[in-house]
A and B are shown apart, each in its own frame.
Chain A
Amino acid sequence: MSSTFDTVANIIAETCDIPRENITPESHAIDDLGIDSLDFLDIAFAIDKAFGIKLPLEQWTQEVNDGKATTEQYFVLKNLCARIDELIAAKSA
C-alpha cells in the first residue's frame, strides 16, 4: 500500500499542482484536495498507465449515485490505493 500511495500521491501532486506534503492517506481527493472530475480523469489516466490497470470509474460513480457506496470508499486515498492493489492482484491472478 505504501508504495502504491507514494505513486498515487506523486501523480496527484504533479497533475494538480498540489504540494506533496498536503497529500496524506486520509485525504479525500474531492473534499480535501479539491480535485474536480476533469483533473481526476488525468489522474486516472496516469494511475492506469503506472499500474497497468483500468480504474472502473464509471462503476464507482454509478454506485455512489445509486447510494450503494460512499465517495469515501473510493476517493479517500488509502481506500483508493486499496482498490488499486486489488486491481493489480486481480490482474496477476
Chain B
Amino acid sequence: MRLEYFQMIDQVLELDLEGRTMKTANLVPEESPIFEGHFPGHPLLPGVLLIEIMAQSCGMLLLRLHEFDRMAFLASVEKAKLRTFVTPGQTIEIEATLLHDGSGYGRLAAKGRIEGKLVCDAELTLKTMPFPAPELRGYLLSTAERIRMPMAAPAGEAAAAGDGAPALDGATPEEPASCAELGKLSHV
C-alpha cells in the first residue's frame, strides 16, 4: 500500500467471476507522513482511507467484470462501519461483492478483515462511464497487472485462481495468463 499515491490494493487473493466476488490484500505501511498527523504517538489508518480501500477493491472488481471497458467512480457509501483501530503493519483483507449490476452504476458490498476479524464494512454505489482519458485506462490495466489480477482465464479457471494464493511474503505466484496482453493494452 502506498498511501500517498492512493495505491491501496497490494494483491488480488481470489477472484470469482460467477459469484461476482473478489478478495484483496492491503498491507498498511509501517511508515507514512499520514501517521505524523494521524496521530502523533498513536498512528492509526484514517477511517476515510478504510473507506477508500473498500472502494478500490469494489472498483477493481467492477472494472474486471466489465473487462476494463469503463471507469468506476465512487458515488455513495452506505451502512459504513469502522469497527476497530487499524495500525501500521496490519494487512486488511477486503472481500468485495457485486450486489447489483445496474445501468451506469454498480452496487457493491465490502467487508474488511484482519486475521479473520471484521474491522470494516459498507455498501457502496459506483457510477460507471466511459474512460474520460485513455491514459487512465492504461494506468488501471497496469495496476491490475501489479496486483496480479487474473485476467484472461475463463471464468472457471479464474474462480480457482485464488486457491492457495500466496501471502504477501514475497512468494512468487503463477504469472497471470494475461500479462503479455496487459502489456499491450496498457499502451492503448
Contact = CB atoms under 8 A, between A and B. Distances in A.
Interface in A6-28: none
A45 B103 contact: no
Nearest to B107: A45
Interface of A: 38, 41-42, 44-45, 48-49, 54-59, 61
6 contacts: A41-B76, A41-B127, A44-B105, A45-B107, A49-B100, A59-B103
A49 B76 CA distance: 18
Interface residues of B, number: 11
Contact of A54 (B75, B102, B125, B127): B102
B104 A45 contact: no
A41 B101 CA distance: 12
A59 B102 CA distance: 12
B75 A44 contact: no
A67 to B, nearest CB: 20
- By secondary structure, the A interface counts as helix
A42 B104 contact: no
A57 B100 CA distance: 14
Interface in B114-171: 125, 127
Contacts of A58: 103-104
A32 B22 CA distance: 41
A49 B100 CA distance: 8
Contacts of A57: 102-105
Given A41-B75, A45-B102, A59-B103, 5 more contacts: A38-B75, A41-B105, A45-B105, A54-B101, A55-B103
Nearest to A55: B103
- Those 8 A-B pairs whose CB atoms lie nearest each other, nearest first: A57-B103, A58-B104, A58-B103, A57-B104, A41-B105, A56-B103, A45-B107, A54-B103
Contacts of A38: 75-76
B102 A55 contact: yes
Nearest to A60: B103
A48 B100 contact: yes
Nearest to B128: A58
